[in-house]
Structure 1
Amino acid sequence: MDQIKGFIKNMVYRNEENGYTVLTLQAEGEEITVVGSLRAVDIGDTIAVTGTFIEHPVYGKQMKAESFSVTVPDDAQAMERYLASGAIKGIGQALASKIVKIFGADTFRVIEEEPELLTKVKGISAKKAMDISMQMHEKIDLRDALVFLQKYGVSGSMAVRIFHRYGTNIYSILRENPYRLATEVDGIGFKTADEIAQKIGISASSEFRIKSGLLYTLLQAQAGGHCYLPLGLLLRETKRMLGILEEGEDFEEVAKVQLKSLQLDQQVVVKVPEEDANPEPANGSSIVRPDSTVRPDSAVQASGREAEARVYSSYFYHAEKKSAALLLRLLEACKEQMGAGRRSALEEAVAGRIRKIEKEEGYELDQEQRRAVKEAVTKGVVLITGGPGTGKTTTIRTILRYLEKEGSDFLLAAPTGRAAKRMSEATGAEAKTIHRLLEVNAQPQKENGTGNVSEGIGVFERDEEHPLETDCVIIDETSMLDLRLFYALLRAILPGTHLILVGDADQLPSVGAGQVLKDLIASRCLPTITLQKIFRQAEKSDIIMNAHRINRGESISLDNQSKDFFFLERNDPQVIYKHLV
């Protein structure tokens, strides 16, 4: 191994992620190109590099650095060179010369310990003296932190984020509880924090590790579509994920204590059902009633009902509760507008207008479609569901014609761009994605489970303070709607606005947490119309007919007489691939 010492004259290239650097080192009267992981150094630094000289086919002789150390300039000349390099903003060659001329080899000590003495130099005010000192301290502190974190495999850009979050407290925080990084520093999750913790020597059964592991397991479940996990499943999955193999009650007891700590930190909510509670969908993604007898428990207590406890992140618990309350508000506001005494006459008038629209448009609705239109224009919230070919689109078109004749405004939206485009083509009216409808204008904020339900859903222009100004909002493909987006939508809808949710509950659920449409139907709290009749156009499609057969548990038709549904029997995977692609 060779070793050279000198000061950095020029930074040619640096990859901020992995720290790979190409720099020019002024050493022993010559300029030497040094390459390697040198993330903690900058122009003007004096460094000692250990490595191997290599001959690059294009750039010639270079030193490939294996290790390095930063040394403080130990003579007046080196100090002047450092200050004049641009490392400290506000100091150029002339001012650097003046400073070193007065303080000599004591320059760095004065800057760090007695910056007020710098005012002896012409051109340096008291304010500028403090600024120079602060810059010097920040550079030294950051460099030390980068070197420290480099030992644990932390990339340069990530190390800078950690330092900016904690400053010089970084050492005590990492040695005590590195898992704080997972919830307090953007871009760092449990896995990264766990790797750092293991390298530092934190025990695999550490209370901090178990606490962070519980939260991580819950967040992973949310990424898989669940709003909560049963307590028993949460404990088992966390233990498996952490790789804790020992049997016995130690892990479970420690985990329950840490779960209580997460509750006190308002990061999770644990719900224990009361004896008389109404059943909720047992799929891990319920929409709870605002008056539910299921209560958030203040702590996890061993009891006969403990196995039924449901553990939520605070965000999802409060988003569910507030979504339910907002839906109830829409229902009640419409009831007040209609008035009990007017309902019978109103429904009769609505039925007459629907018949008139059918005649004008040249089609005939079935009984359930008419009921769907009537409910949609008279109720605050309505669910319209049905499989393919059951007339959902025709029902929406009829609702739109009704609203147009009444002079009412409406907005159409769907969860995805493709669904919004299909909605526009089918209705002849503009439809937007829900994100565009709500005017998303920034990246989602980091969801830290604190219970602040404005977090983690993106930043939308439309909310309680800037609501959607319309008489009716119609959402298609509601089965793809997750709880985060649904809650954001509800926040932007004023009381008195009609909300119509359309979709097929048997389609694949949303990617995000929550099966909004399916759970709203299961709640039996909202007016719901299920369209079941398959119309003649749809009867010609074996895709549609077989979809309904699958839903009924019947065998599908494989006679290959269809124009749109075929079954090809092949045994060779390569042949199958060829036919599919």
Structure 2
Amino acid sequence: MAKVETLTFQVAEIKFAKDGYHIVRTTRGDSVKGKFAARIGHCYKADGTWETDLTWGPWYKLESAVSIRMTSPEALGRFLVLQLKGKGVGEAFIGALVEAVKADNLDLEELLDKAQRDVLVECVGSRNAKKVDVLLDIWPKIKPAADLMSPLLGYGLSEAMAETVLALYGKKAVEMVEDHPYDLILRVDGVSFLTADKIAMKVGRTEKTDPKRLRAAMSTGMRDATSNGDIGVRRKTLLDKTMPLVNESILENGRRKMAPGVVPVVSLELLTKTLDDMIRGIYTDEDGAECGFSSNLLEYPDEKGEKVVWYRPLVEAEELIAKRLSKFSAAARPDLVARIDAVAAKLGAVLAPEQRSAVEKALTHPVTVVTGGPGCGKSFLLKVLLAVMDGASLRGNLAAPTGKAAKRITESTGRKAFTQHSLIGYQPGGRCAFDQSCPLPADYLVIDEASMDDTELMAATLNAVGNNCRIIIVGDVDQLASVGPGQVLRDLIRAGVVPVTRLTKGFRFSGGIAAAARSVNSGVMPETTADGQFTFVDTETPTQDLMEAVKQLLREGVNPDDIQIIAPTHKGDAGCTALNKAMQALLNPEPKGGTHQRLRRDNGDIRVNDRVIQLKNDKDLGLVNGDVGWVVDISSDLTVTLMLPDRDKPVILNRNQAQNLSLAYAITVHKSQGAEAPYVLIALDRAASFMLRRNLPYTAISRASKRALLFSARSTFAGAVHRGEPAEGSRRTSLVSKLLAVMPVLAVPAVAVAKPVDPLAKAMLLDMDMDVPI
């Protein structure tokens, strides 16, 4: 009689299945037969006997089996690398150990026992015996974490993702990931649909046509659209982008496409039905019954009459902007208009006609907009306006989207400016300390650098003040639009429903920087200026030439902290990732000898003394997206001590909070908005030329106060300069139609409006009990 043996295995392939009976191939190549609930990717511990078939060879006859979690050697190896940092056991040793264990078909976790020391030493060689001892001493202390962390790493999650999952679900982390993999897309930063889908397929409980899977893919398409700044996406585009996600696909030129010659498992008809059901807010349960749910999708035509699927929360934010702007009713103050010239003279200057017009409009209309490029006198007219209103004992606030922008406004006006988030008490989830039930006490509100305001931030800000508050919105409409969804400033100007003043006369720095910025904004290619303020370097190797320029500036005695590199994207030879690594090697090279702490990042590790940028708002720490500081310490538990230029005391970030830090020697143009540096070096990579428009180099050049140096192939730079924004902007929004539905056009819009009021938008706003002009 054959001896009963225990076998632990993982299912790689199901060769036969009927009535609970399965024949499977394991990841080790063994054949297993018997009745059990086999799933691809799942691990089992079984009792049975080995038998031999004359045709098929040896196979394992399973009598009973229980499902277990078995960590792959690679996943456990990743965990060990992370846990053993700075303890003399490096990544190379762990990698060699994993390969040796796999080659000998051994179980790594079973070997991490002091009784197995000799076997481990034999695997990695006697020269590594001390490292084996360190590993065996530490293993009992970290094993509880390994039981949770290793499976998560094995599913392809990064360390940061896995730690977020553990923080969310605790001891049920692995169970929740396996039961609800698509929930990770919304709950864990960095988890894409493809990552969640790989987990779902590996767990083996989800069919390719599962409605949950298709809804998750469709939601990903919408999230991609909003992450690119759109409020909605064309129906056809959404379906075209989702089809390759849910079927076998290939990557071509950075874009995912359907694999040629492969019949899709998920048909276009099925995907279309899924989208229609999501818009209707219904789904079919396992019994075939239709159930309702609260959908985040809407469908109605855009300004051009095309079918567009809109993201409901952003549409509601647009509706709130329109509603609030239509309700502001601050009365005209001709008595204050009479004081304008005297106040300006007291401040030591005479307002230009267009500046005076802007101040007058602000004092005689409930809502006004002022737009203009760098050096056009926005700051001085604000000083005059603030002085006039303060002279009348009016209460007011000055705000901007980011901390950098607020600091610049404070310096230029002499008035304390706040970030909009801090002013209105903005909290995660969109809740605010101030709203219509408890409005911010203010007679006026100035929102500066408004080109950076996304739809939700502007909606929350306008909703935080009362109807009698006077609103003055200031910004450069020709700069890049906000990082977040929408193009509020452009749409507000385009609608023509509030008075707009466009400043065109230059006052501040009449030299090469201003000339180059204006030239780019006019669609004219600028050349190196005689005063040296702007330099264009025609090169096919922008990174190499830029780094040589940095070294030259350092030789001239320029403070490294006064140098800011700007690039359009993170990727590519001249992207932020490559430039940050090059700058770090130059300014903060890795110490020689010994061990030192670092924050590991795919886009460049962070070390002590590195310049870093905060990537997200953190209310608990008082940090906002775009804050730049310097790392002064990294402790053994990866707690970071950060010093910011406008703080007297350092900021302490725990390991999870520090995940929002990234190197900042080079930053994207979007991240540079609202900031200024004496020396700005700009790299335009030919590989990124498809995404370049003139507002990108225009924004980057205008960040410099002393010198701007731009490195690019001439054709790449020229292509960007000659490619302007379309009149309606580059983003798909519906704010213009929302505004026109509730506010009359005051004058000919500064930028042409593509189409009159959309009737569906008007109907939606009427449902909100708003006064709509007929």
User: 1:527 offset after TM fit, Å?
Assistant: 1.7
AA partner of residue 326 (structure 2): L
Which string of whole-angstrom CA distances, capped at 9 and with x for unpartnered residues, describes residues 109-138 of structure 1?
Answer: xxxxxxxxxxxxxxxxxxxxxxxxxxxxxx
AA partner of residue 531 (structure 2): S
Q: Which residue of 1 aligns with 2:342?
A: 356
1:514 aligns with 2:486: yes
Unaligned runs of 5+ in 2: 1-5, 8-75, 84-96, 99-108, 122-128, 250-257, 282-292, 552-774
Work out the CA distance in 1 between the residues paired with 2:388 and 2:151: 69
Q: Which residue of 2 aligns with 1:295?
A: none
AA partner of residue 269 (structure 1): L
Which string of whole-angstrom CA distances, capped at 9 and with x for unpartnered residues, describes residues 428-484 of structure 1?
Answer: 1111222222234x5x3xxxxxxxxxx3x3x54333344221111111111111122
For residues 158-177 of structure 1, the aligned pairs below 5 Å read 158=165, 161-162=168-169, 174=179
1:476 aligns with 2:455: no
Q: Which residue of 1 aligns with 2:214?
A: 210
Q: Which residue of 2 aligns with 1:375?
A: 361
For residues 166-315 of structure 1, the aligned pairs below 5 Å read 174=179, 178-183=181-186, 190-201=193-204, 202-242=206-246, 243=249, 244-245=258-259, 246=262, 251-263=267-279, 264=281, 265-273=293-301, 279=303, 308-315=306-313
Secondary structure of the 1:57 match is: helix
Work out the CA distance in 1 between the residues paired with 2:218 and 2:540: 45
Secondary structure of the 1:404 match is: helix
AA partner of residue 266 (structure 1): S
Work out the CA distance in 1 between the residues paired with 2:270 and 2:238: 13
For residues 378-527 of structure 1, the aligned pairs below 5 Å read 378-440=364-426, 444=428, 455=429, 457=430, 459-527=431-499
Structure 1 counterpart of 2:533, from 551, 564, 573:
564
Work out the CA distance in 1 between the residues paired with 2:244 and 2:272: 16
Work out the CA distance in 1 between the residues paired with 2:167 and 2:376: 57
1:531 aligns with 2:529: no
The verdict on how the C-alpha distance between 1:528 and 1:206 changes in structure 2, with shifts beyond 3 A counting, is same
Range moving further from structure 2, 50-59 or 225-234 = 50-59
The verdict on how the C-alpha distance between 1:161 and 1:18 changes in structure 2, with shifts beyond 3 A counting, is farther
Q: Which residue of 1 aligns with 2:623?
A: none
Aligned 8 A contact 1:470 1:497 in 2: yes
Range moving further from structure 2, 460-469 or 514-523 = 460-469
Structure 1 counterpart of 2:130, from 47, 51, 57:
57
User: 1:534 offset after TM fit, Å?
Assistant: 2.4
The verdict on how the C-alpha distance between 1:256 and 1:164 changes in structure 2, with shifts beyond 3 A counting, is farther
| Greater percentage in helix | 1
Structure number with bigger Rg: 1
Secondary structure of the 2:466 match is: coil
Secondary structure of the 2:497 match is: coil
Q: Which residue of 2 aligns with 1:554?
A: 524
Work out the CA distance in 2 between the residues paired with 1:415 and 1:378: 25
User: 1:144 offset after TM fit, Å?
Assistant: 11
Q: Which residue of 1 aligns with 2:255?
A: none
Aligned 8 A contact 2:336 2:389 in 1: no
Residue-pair matches, total: 409
Secondary structure of the 1:499 match is: strand
Aligned 8 A contact 1:19 1:156 in 2: no
AA partner of residue 270 (structure 1): L
Aligned 8 A contact 2:354 2:503 in 1: yes
Work out the CA distance in 2 between the residues paired with 1:156 and 1:385: 45
User: 1:396 offset after TM fit, Å?
Assistant: 0.6
Work out the CA distance in 2 between the residues paired with 1:21 and 1:387: 48
Amino-acid identity (%): 28
User: 1:224 offset after TM fit, Å?
Assistant: 2.2
The verdict on how the C-alpha distance between 1:385 and 1:200 changes in structure 2, with shifts beyond 3 A counting, is same
User: 1:384 offset after TM fit, Å?
Assistant: 0.5
Work out the CA distance in 2 between the residues paired with 1:193 and 1:249: 18
AA partner of residue 501 (structure 1): I
Range moving further from structure 2, 159-168 or 401-410 = 159-168
User: 1:503 offset after TM fit, Å?
Assistant: 0.6
Work out the CA distance in 1 between the residues paired with 2:149 and 2:471: 53
The verdict on how the C-alpha distance between 1:438 and 1:428 changes in structure 2, with shifts beyond 3 A counting, is same
AA partner of residue 158 (structure 1): V
The verdict on how the C-alpha distance between 1:484 and 1:156 changes in structure 2, with shifts beyond 3 A counting, is closer
The verdict on how the C-alpha distance between 1:148 and 1:480 changes in structure 2, with shifts beyond 3 A counting, is closer
User: 1:199 offset after TM fit, Å?
Assistant: 0.7
Work out the CA distance in 2 between the residues paired with 1:235 and 1:529: 41
Unaligned runs of 5+ in 1: 4-14, 23-35, 38-47, 71-86, 88-142, 281-304, 445-454
Work out the CA distance in 1 between the residues paired with 2:186 and 2:169: 12
Work out the CA distance in 2 between the residues paired with 1:497 and 1:549: 38
Work out the CA distance in 1 between the residues paired with 2:395 and 2:387: 11
Aligned 8 A contact 1:473 1:500 in 2: yes
User: 1:162 offset after TM fit, Å?
Assistant: 5.0
AA partner of residue 489 (structure 2): L
Aligned 8 A contact 1:468 1:492 in 2: yes
Secondary structure of the 2:418 match is: strand
Secondary structure of the 2:536 match is: coil
Work out the CA distance in 1 between the residues paired with 2:414 and 2:370: 20
Work out the CA distance in 2 between the residues paired with 1:580 and 1:507: 26
The verdict on how the C-alpha distance between 1:576 and 1:426 changes in structure 2, with shifts beyond 3 A counting, is closer
Aligned 8 A contact 1:49 1:65 in 2: no
Work out the CA distance in 2 between the residues paired with 1:160 and 1:532: 52
Which string of whole-angstrom CA distances, capped at 9 and with x for unpartnered residues, describes residues 322-362 of structure 1?
Answer: 121112112xx22xxx3xxxx6xx54x44422122233333
Secondary structure of the 2:501 match is: strand
AA partner of residue 365 (structure 1): L
Work out the CA distance in 2 between the residues paired with 1:250 and 1:271: 23
Secondary structure of the 2:325 match is: helix
The verdict on how the C-alpha distance between 1:65 and 1:497 changes in structure 2, with shifts beyond 3 A counting, is closer
Which string of whole-angstrom CA distances, capped at 9 and with x for unpartnered residues, describes residues 301-320 of structure 1?
Answer: xxxx6xx1222222111111
Secondary structure of the 1:383 match is: strand
Aligned 8 A contact 1:481 1:516 in 2: yes
Aligned 8 A contact 1:146 1:160 in 2: no
Work out the CA distance in 1 between the residues paired with 2:373 and 2:339: 27
Q: Which residue of 1 aligns with 2:87?
A: none
* Alignment TM-score, normalising by the size of structure 2: 0.47
Aligned 8 A contact 2:527 2:536 in 1: no
User: 1:185 offset after TM fit, Å?
Assistant: 7.7
Secondary structure of the 1:566 match is: strand
* Alignment TM-score, normalising by the size of structure 1: 0.61
Q: Which residue of 2 aligns with 1:26?
A: none
Aligned 8 A contact 1:161 1:185 in 2: no
User: 1:423 offset after TM fit, Å?
Assistant: 0.8
Aligned 8 A contact 1:570 1:576 in 2: no
Which string of whole-angstrom CA distances, capped at 9 and with x for unpartnered residues, describes residues 373-432 of structure 1?
Answer: 112122221110011222111111111111011111111111122211111111111112
Aligned 8 A contact 1:386 1:531 in 2: yes
Q: Which residue of 2 aligns with 1:316?
A: 314
